[in-house]
Structure 1
Amino acid sequence: MKKILLLLLSLFLGLSSQAQEDSLQANRYVMRATLYGAGFTNILDTYLSPMEYTRPEIRILRESMRMTKLMNGNVSVQSLFQANLSLTENKAETSNEMAGMVNWNYALHYQFRLTENLKILAGPMLDLNGGFIYNMRNSNNPAQAKAYVNLAASGMVIYRFHIGNYPLIARYQANLPVMGIMFSPEYGQSYYEIFSLKNGGKNVLFTSLHNQPSLRQLVTLDFPIRSVNMRFGYLCDIQQAKVNNLKSHIWSHAFMIGFVKNFYLLKGKNKVAMPSRVSPY
């Protein structure tokens, strides 16, 4: 009799937990993460100098994800903001450049749930970028403004697994700009000519894979430490373009670490994330 009661109690608790999970409104649960990191950058902008500039950079990345009601609740939305700053030097050690960039991505991903632990996400992404490069040696044209907008293709693989009883979540994401527009001065054209003298020119240009072959890749690993969910990440950010007979690139490799929080904090190492059925991640 005692065994029967225990069996019925276990069954009831299991059904209650399942019903509670199913009753959750998935689009109201948000995963947020903030990462801080440092890495190495390589900068070239032939408008300012024909030489490459290299040195360390610092970076911050903030991400949020949630499910939507689109396509029967199978589409998630991702907002990804990052900013980086670097002080670089050329190989001859004759000049320095300071660079800063801000990037914001907004993506809609359709989630293909292959198994309970494996997801593949794919969809379109809006990619906004702005920043500057300042050459401390130049006098006539000391700075270059960076501004471009892309429509990108975005893909992601998310895998949940355990090492023993320790839960982990691994993610790989790649964002490929497909088409967009970019601001650039013409070769030999100064900003004084553009904005003060109002001299016309091709300063807003169409970009695609042929003149802006760029790619952002992000690898992360989520792991709990007591009641805190941590995230370790690596970012490979390859931004490059050739427009108006000017070449430019910003290649960055950064390692980051930070925290992951859900809209309702779920404590304990067995709750490294929200229930899989309602989690966008």
Structure 2
Amino acid sequence: MSLYRIGIIAACLLLGTGGSVKAQSVEERALQELRADSSARTRFVTRATMYGVGYANVFDTYLSPQEYKGIDFRISRESMRMTKWMNGNVSLQSFFQADIGYTHNRVDNNNMFSGLANWNYGLHYNFPITPNFKLLAGGLIDLNGGFAYSLRNGNNPAQARAYINLDASGMAIWDLRIKNYPISLRYQINLPFMGVMFSPNYGQSYYEIFTLGNWNGVINFTSLHNQPSLRQMLTVDFPVGRAKMRLAYLWDAQQSKVNDIKTHTYSHVFMVGFVKELFLIRDKRKK
């Protein structure tokens, strides 16, 4: 890539998205350079950190026959970049999120804490439909670990959450302008179709598992028949001054029926955060 192209990209990243229409046109030319040059695209990284709050519905028959409803606090960290694979048409995504929920039952005589950390890592093949719109399809490794804790239960007050899935994933990304104001819309859906899950048997205590060593039946194969779950996310990226902000809506539906234990966690979360666009510099001395 020529020094002229590198200079345009560097100037764009320093100026950000704020400023005059002229500055925005420079940014557009820089992004066109990135799209046209495959070696540049593989070094262009988008990272976003978001914080959110929303609604949670938690149900776990190991702890209680009742649903618990309340508030969900969430944080997420995402990184996306193009790779060299398949002529530069494959993108790499890493997405981490963690949430804490505080819920209460219908008669309001008990409360429950719940939490889950989730990490997705995978690849998507990019299908450009128009210069400003593209579809992506691929797969992800989906790691999950967390807990649910009932404040009033005596013998079995807590339930562990641990499962690994392979997800089918799809996206639609649309870059548009509203009166010369650039906006980027994205919709993503992740569907787990195969995995393994840790779950005690109904009525079995964790003392039996970890102290007495009764591990029979606690590791289970999962698929759509016993873990019909889904994650959906809609994001909007837009410049504010020299920064780029992101608004997001996340619908996270995790549910399972394993070892005669039914669980679900339904979350509707609105998130806000900032997006950073980085151009990685390679060391030419490294082979």
Q: What range is the shorter-chain TM-score in?
A: 0.7 to 0.9
SS in 2 for 1:233: strand
SS in 1 for 2:66: strand
Per the TM alignment, residue 245 of structure 1 is displaced from its structure 2 partner at its CA by 0.4
TM superposition score normalised by structure 1: 0.86
Q: 1:41 aligns with which of 48, 52, 56?
A: 56
Aligned to 1:149: 164
Distance 2:88 2:95 in 1: 21
Aligned to 1:90: 105
Distance 1:241 1:18 in 2: 43
- Name the aligned partner's letter for residue 199 of structure 2: S
SS in 1 for 2:209: helix
Please list the CA deviations of residues 145-186 of structure 1 after superposition, one character each: whole Å capped at 9, or x if unmatched: 000000010000000111111010000000000000000000
Tell me, yes or no, if structure 1 residue 102 matches structure 2 residue 125: no
- Name the aligned partner's letter for residue 202 of structure 2: Y
Structure 1, unaligned runs of 5 or more: 1-12, 266-281
Go from structure 1 to structure 2 and tell me whether the alpha carbon gap of 1:137 and 1:149 turns closer, same or farther (over 3 Å shift).
Answer: same
- Name the aligned partner's letter for residue 249 of structure 2: Y
Distance 1:224 1:107 in 2: 28
SS in 1 for 2:86: coil
Per the TM alignment, residue 227 of structure 1 is displaced from its structure 2 partner at its CA by 1.1
Distance 1:239 1:169 in 2: 28
Please list the CA deviations of residues 197-236 of structure 1 after superposition, one character each: whole Å capped at 9, or x if unmatched: 1124200000000000000000000011111100000000
Tell me, yes or no, if structure 1 residue 186 matches structure 2 residue 192: no
Higher-Rg member (1/2): 1
Per the TM alignment, residue 19 of structure 1 is displaced from its structure 2 partner at its CA by 9.6
Name the Cα RMSD after superposition.
1.7
Q: 1:57 aligns with which of 58, 61, 72?
A: 72
TM superposition score normalised by structure 2: 0.85
Structure 2, unaligned runs of 5 or more: 1-25, 281-287
Aligned to 1:161: 176
SS in 2 for 1:114: strand
Per the TM alignment, residue 18 of structure 1 is displaced from its structure 2 partner at its CA by 9.4
Q: 1:79 aligns with which of 94, 113, 118?
A: 94
Please list the CA deviations of residues 239-258 of structure 1 after superposition, one character each: whole Å capped at 9, or x if unmatched: 00000000000000000011
Runs (4+) of structure 1 moved beyond 4 Å?
Answer: 16-24
Aligned to 1:249: 264
Identity over aligned residues, as a percent? 57
Tell me, yes or no, if structure 1 residue 213 matches structure 2 residue 218: no
